[in-house]
Amino acid sequence: MRQTHSLREHIVHLQEHKAELEKLQKTLMDSGETQVSLTDPDSRLMTTGKHGNDVCYNVQIAVDAKT
């Protein structure tokens, strides 16, 4: 009987996780973005040369003629 109880707990956990993922998917669709970072909204998944992909920042600097 213990296995049945453990299996039911696992199913409940999976259902809760699915609900969280569906909420994230809705947020992503509503925002119009193509990806979301759960740790830092300014970071994006980028190609990092020979090492594959990593979550990074795309730092850009603007300079004008006066400064």
Average pLDDT over residues 56-62: 78
Whole-model pTM?
0.59
Average pLDDT over residues 45-62: 81
pLDDT single digits (tens) 24-35:
999 889 988 888
pLDDT single digits (tens) 4-46:
679 999 999 999 999 999 999 998 899 888 888 888 878 888 8
Segments making up each domain of the chain, as ranges? 2-56
Tell me if residue 55 falls in helix, strand or coil. Answer: strand
Yes or no: say if 36 and 28 are a contact pair by the CB < 8 Å rule: yes
* pLDDT for 26: 93
